[in-house]
Amino acid sequence: MIKIRNYTHGADIYTTAIELDISENSIIDFSSNINPYGLAEGVKNSIVESLEYADRYPDFNCRALSAALSEYENVQKDYIFCSNGAEESIFRIVNFLKPKNALVIAPTFSEYEHALEAIGCNINYHYLKEENDFILDEDILEDITQETDILFICNPNNPTGQLTEKKIIEKILTHCEKMDTNVVIDECFMDFVSDNEEYSAKNLLGIYSNLIILKAFTKIFAMAGIRLGYCMSSNIRIMDGIKETGPIWNVSAIAQAAGIAAVQESEYLSESLQYIDEQRRYLVEKLDMLDLKIYPPNANYIFFKCMKDIDLKYELLQYGIMIRSCSNYEGLDESYYRIAVKKDEDNKLLVRALRNIL
């Protein structure tokens, strides 16, 4: 029998649908943090148009896409490597650098651990404190030693939604430079932050050669099924190494066309970000009235602790609503959950269900 892979993220509506014996489309998925606006029309059109040339091999250098991203991110084109989602970039980085000892904050996105475990790397954790609202501060410097080969930071952090101030990031990068430690900063949710230029490490790329930034089209452009991400670094040795570590045709022609179209969708971005901000404020206001501890959100998801001893994920599944249990995150237990900010009608259904349950 073929082994079914255990999926530790949100968004596994397929397994849930099988377990509940219902259609995947009947599940309201709050477990995946995707822009509720869905694919922009320009992206949809670009996908259809790209099918005309789908019989060709794609440009394995992703030249047109890299040029579009260079303008969108305001970074040099040579600093960009395009990948099959941010996950591929994570695995390529780890496979090229081959760290022996890594430091990962906890709780955070699990794919860093998966990539590190795949090469037998020793993983150490810097635990974020609940009493500090899981905010990363400079006490992490004590855990970064000359034995630390690589450090992973998610900003804003997944699942907590907390931001790390740029002055802390700069202190970490400076210290890591002295320790000869590479720093990978996952900014896949940074586009949802209203004043993201104050927090993004992009303008530090040319200053710190030990800095690598992860980004993806998955969340902000709702392109999860298309699989498109990228990483950025001014360290050409690392970028060349990443390119050589993995399959050459890693980004399809369709994904490249979709990415080029997506970064032109400025109106889509501004409208969806305003909508997400409104719906996030609505959800925080309503959830704060329930028996839940809400941690201040900064992206398109909300992290909270249920103060009642119940399985909230199971209870909500009875309403056809799937949320993300955070019990399998390092440093968290079964009382923590995460929900995406979705469309108004879905958010209202969630609030009504939570009121009934709690």
Looking only at the bridges linking them, the beta strands covering 336-340 and 324-325 are antiparallel
What's the mean per-residue pLDDT of the chain? 94
Question: Which residues, 6 or more positions from 252, have their beta carbon under 8 angstroms from its beta carbon?
Answer: 58
Question: Which residues, 6 or more positions from 326, have their beta carbon under 8 angstroms from its beta carbon?
Answer: 107, 159, 303, 332, 336, 337, 338
Paired strand residues for 321: 28
Q: What percent of the chain has pLDDT over 70?
A: 93
Neighbours of 152 (CB within 10 A): 26
How would CATH label the architecture of 13-38+266-357?
Alpha-Beta Complex (3.90)
Q: How far apart are CA 290 and CA 294, in angstroms?
A: 10
Residue with tokens 């990483």, as numbered in its chain: 231
Per-residue pLDDT tens for 334-346? 999 999 999 999 9
pLDDT tier, 248 (very low <50, low <70, confident <90, very high otherwise): very high
Question: Which residues, 6 or more positions from 257, have their beta carbon under 8 angstroms from its beta carbon?
Answer: 46, 47, 49, 50
Per-residue pLDDT tens for 2-61? 333 444 545 566 676 566 656 566 689 999 999 999 999 999 999 999 999 999 999 999
Q: What class, spelled out in words, does domain 41-262 have in CATH?
A: alpha beta
For 32, the 3-state DSSP assignment is coil
Q: What is the pLDDT of residue 153?
A: 98
160 and 304 Cβ atoms separated by less than 8 Å: no
Q: What is the pLDDT of residue 22?
A: 62
Q: Average of pLDDT values for 224-242? A: 97
**For residue 1, is pLDDT > 60?**
no
| CA 150, 99, 156, 63 torsion-angle sign | positive
**343 conformational bin, left if phi > 0, alpha if psi -120 to 50, beta if neither:** beta
Per-residue pLDDT tens for 281-309? 999 999 999 999 999 999 999 999 999 99
Q: How far apart are CA 105 and CA 169, in angstroms?
A: 13
Domain limits of the chain? 13-38+266-357, 41-262
Q: How many residues does the chain have?
A: 358
Question: Which residues, 6 or more positions from 120, have their beta carbon under 8 angstroms from its beta carbon?
Answer: none
Per-residue pLDDT tens for 172-228? 999 999 999 999 999 999 999 989 999 999 999 999 999 999 999 999 999 999 999
Q: At what angle do helices 85-97 and 111-118 cross, to 10 degrees?
A: 40
**98 conformational bin, left if phi > 0, alpha if psi -120 to 50, beta if neither:** left
Q: How far apart are CA 251 and CA 227, in angstroms?
A: 8
Could you say which DSSP state residue 46 is in? H
Q: What is the pLDDT of residue 27?
A: 85
| CA 232, 331, 301, 141 torsion-angle sign | negative
Q: How far apart are CA 290 and CA 80, in angstroms?
A: 44
Here the tokens at position 71 are: 């303008």
